[in-house]
Chains A and B, each alone.
Chain A
C-alpha cells in the first residue's frame, strides 16, 4: 500500500513531503510507521535517517499511531489571551487525555498547534480538516458530541 502511494509521485526528493502527507492521510491511524519510512527510502533512494529527520521536524507528521479524529488546539498568543487554556482544560477532562495522547476508544487525539491563521475567531481549533472558532466550553461539548454521534 505504501508503494502504491509512492508510485503516484516522481521519485525525486522534493516530493518527500507530499508522499509523507499522503501516507499519513490515508493511514487509518494517521501516522507514518517505520515500515512506511523504509518503503519511501527505497523508492526515493534517500536514507531512512533523512526521512526520519524530516518526519520529526514538521509538526503535522506523527510517528505514533493516532486516533480517528485529530484535535489541534491553537496555543499561540492571540488564542491564549482569548482563553485557549480553559478550552484545553475542558478538552483534557472531557476526553480524559493529556496533550499528545489518544482516547481509549481511539476516537480522538489531542494536540496543540501554533497559529492556525484564523485568529479573527480565536480561540480556534481544527478537528481533522475542519476549523472551529469562537470556542467556549459549551461549544466544545457540542462539537465533540456531534463528532462522536457522527461516528
Chain B
C-alpha cells in the first residue's frame, strides 16, 4: 500500500459535476505531476464533504482545510501555495477566519461516518472500514429474532418523518409465515429542504445495502426494492454499481456465505410524486399504479407489496442498522436521548453562514445546530424563524431556539422532527409568503384520492393567496385554521393531515403579520 503525505478529497455531487469536476480532477492530477507531487499527494473522489460551498469543493487532509469554488485556473496557485510551500490559499478557503470548522461535525457520526472519506464507488474501501462485518454477523451468528430484538433494544426510530420504532415494525413481519416477503426502501425523498438520503446514498451506498441485507435476514425477505426518485441520477448509478460489486463478491445472490440464504436487491425509479413517500402509496407505485395511498389496516407489514408482508423503511433508518448489529444496541444508545436514541442527519438551509448537513445526537438544540454546525446566521442577518421538518413541518420562532431536536421533545410542542430539514429565515422574510409557498406545494402534491385533501389544499391555497395580496380578512385567516383542522381529522393519509402544522405554528407565533396584512 502506498502512503501519502496529504489527501485531497473532492466532493462529487450534482453541483460539482455541473461545475465540470471531471475535467477539474484531470487538471489537478496534471498540475500535481508537473510539480512531481503525484506520489506524495493523493486525489480522492468521494461523496459529500459535510459543507456546502459553491462549485467544486475540496478538503485537504490531514490539515482539514476546506476550499470552495475552486476553478481549473486556480490550480497552479493552489498546488504551489498549499502543497509546495505548505500554506493554505486563503483566497479560496471556505472560511478564512478559521472560525467555522466542520471537523467536529465528524465526532458523532454513524450513518455519515464514511461519507466524504472513502470512495463510494469502491467496495474495497467500504470493506476496509469494517464494512459488511455486521452482515456476516447477522447472517452467520444471529437468529432472525435476535436481530429484531437487537434493533428493538437500540430504540431506533424511523428517520423518514413519523418516527415509528423500526424494531417494532420488523417484529410484526418477522414471525409471519409467507411464501414471499419484501423489504422496500423508501428513497423517494421529496420533503422540501431535505436531501439527507441523497447524501447518504451518494456518500456511502454500501452502508445502505448492508442495512437492507440485515433487515431482509431479520424478517425473512429474499427480495428488496429501493424506490428512488428519478432525479437522483448519481445515487441510482452508485447504488447499481454497489449492487453489482456485492454480487461479484458473493455478498448478494444465492446461498450467501454458504448460509443457505438468498437475497437480491433491485432499484425502482419513481416518476415524481411527493405522496409516494407515504408507504402504501409507494407500494402502489411499485406495482405500476397511481400513487394513491391504501387503507390501513392491513398494514404493509402484514399485506404490502403484491399482498405479501413488506417492511418499508427510510434510507437513513436502514443505514443505522449495520452499526447497531456490529457494535450492539448498547453502543448505539450512547448517542441521543433515552427516548430518541442515536443520531440524526439534519440539512440546514437558508440564511445561515454555512448551509449544509450535519449528523448529531438526537436532542441537540436548534440553537446549537444553527450556531455551531452552520456557523451561525449569515453576516448581517438576524434570525426570525426556522421551518423545521419541511412543508409538513412547523415554523419555530426565536423563543423556541432552545427546543431539543428529537421526536419526543418536539411532540410536546405539537411540532415534528420530520425529515430533519431546517430552513432558517431572516428578519426581512415574510411568514405569510412562506406559508403561501408551503400551501402552494401541498396544493400541487395532493394525490386527489380523498375529498378533504383534494378540495382542502385548493381552498387553503386560494385563501392564503388572497391574504398575501392584502385582500383577505382576519376571518379568512381563522378559516385557514379551521379548514386545516378539518383536513387533519378527515384526510385519508398524512399529506392532508399535515398543512395544519405550518398554519397553526405560523398563526401562533406570527399572528401580528397576518393581522397587519389583512388591515391593508
**A→B interface (CB under 8 Å):** 12-18, 20-21, 46, 50, 53-54, 57-61, 75-78, 80-82, 113-122, 126, 129-134
Q: How far is the CA of A72 from the CA of B285 in the complex (A)?
A: 22
- Which residues of B sit under 8 angstroms from A130, Cβ to Cβ? 18
Q: How far is the CA of A131 from the CA of B355 in the complex (A)?
A: 18
- Smallest Cβ distance from B267 to chain A, in angstroms? 11
Q: Which of A13, A61, A76, A134 contacts B271 (CB 8 A)?
A: A61
A-B residue pairs in contact (CB < 8 Å), sample of 8: A17-B285, A20-B271, A54-B288, A114-B192, A117-B194, A121-B54, A126-B231, A129-B233
- Smallest Cβ distance from B478 to chain A, in angstroms? 23
Q: Which of A53, A60, A76, A115 contacts B290 (CB 8 A)?
A: A53
Closest to A112 in B: B444
A114 touching B274, Cβ below 8 Å: yes
- Which residues of A sit under 8 angstroms from B17, Cβ to Cβ? 131
Q: Could you tell me the dominant secondary structure of chain A's interface residues?
A: mixed
B291 beta carbon closer than 8 Å to chain A: yes
A60 touching B195, Cβ below 8 Å: no
- Which residues of B sit under 8 angstroms from A76, Cβ to Cβ? 192-193, 391, 437, 441
* Chain B 248-279 interface 0/1 with A at a Cβ cutoff of 8 Å (1 = within): 00000000000000000000111111100000
Q: How far is the CA of A120 from the CA of B51 in the complex (A)?
A: 9
B15 touching A121, Cβ below 8 Å: yes
Q: How far is the CA of A113 from the CA of B230 in the complex (A)?
A: 13
B288 touching A13, Cβ below 8 Å: yes
- Which residues of B sit under 8 angstroms from A78, Cβ to Cβ? 192-193, 349-350, 421, 423
Closest to A130 in B: B18
B52 beta carbon closer than 8 Å to chain A: yes
- Smallest Cβ distance from B253 to chain A, in angstroms? 20
- Using a Cβ–Cβ cut-off of 8 Å, how many residues does chain B contribute to the interface with A? 55
- Smallest Cβ distance from A83 to chain B, in angstroms? 11
- Smallest Cβ distance from A113 to chain B, in angstroms? 8
- Smallest Cβ distance from A68 to chain B, in angstroms? 19
A21 touching B288, Cβ below 8 Å: no
A121 touching B52, Cβ below 8 Å: yes
B271 touching A81, Cβ below 8 Å: no
B437 touching A18, Cβ below 8 Å: no
Closest to B234 in A: A131
A77 touching B438, Cβ below 8 Å: yes
In chain B, positions 7-24 with a C-beta closer than 8 Å to chain A are 14-15, 17-18
A117 touching B350, Cβ below 8 Å: no
